[in-house]
Amino acid sequence: MTDQNKHSSESVAILEKELRYISHLIKQKGREILSNYTITPPQFVALQWLHESGDMTIGDLSTKMYLAFSTTTDLVDRMEKNELVQRVRDEKDRRVVRIHLLPEGERIIEEVILKRQNYLHDIMGEFDEAEFKQLSNNLQKLHLLMK
Q: Is residue 140 part of a domain?
A: yes
Q: Is residue 18 part of a domain?
A: yes
Q: Is residue 2 part of a domain?
A: no
Quick one: pLDDT at residue 3?
59
- Can you give the residue range of the structural domain that contains 80? 8-146
Beta bridge partners of 85: 101
Tell me the pTM: 0.82
Q: Is residue 3 part of a domain?
A: no
Task: Name the domain count of the chain.
Answer: 1
Q: Is residue 107 part of a domain?
A: yes
Q: Is residue 98 part of a domain?
A: yes
Q: Would you say 50 and 57 are in contact if contact means Cβ atoms under 8 Å apart? A: no
State the Cα–Cα distance between residues 23 and 37, nearest whole angstrom: 21
- Which CATH number does the domain housing residue 87 bear? 1.10.10.10
Quick one: pLDDT at residue 112?
93
SS3 of residue 97 by DSSP: strand
Tens of pLDDT along the chain (147 residues) come to 455 678 899 999 999 999 999 999 998 999 999 999 989 999 999 999 999 999 999 999 999 999 999 999 999 999 999 999 999 998 888 889 999 999 999 999 999 999 999 999 999 999 999 999 999 999 999 999 999
Q: Is residue 124 part of a domain?
A: yes
Q: Is residue 123 part of a domain?
A: yes
DSSP letter (8 states) at residue 4: G
Nearest Cα residue to 99 out of 54, 68, 48: 54
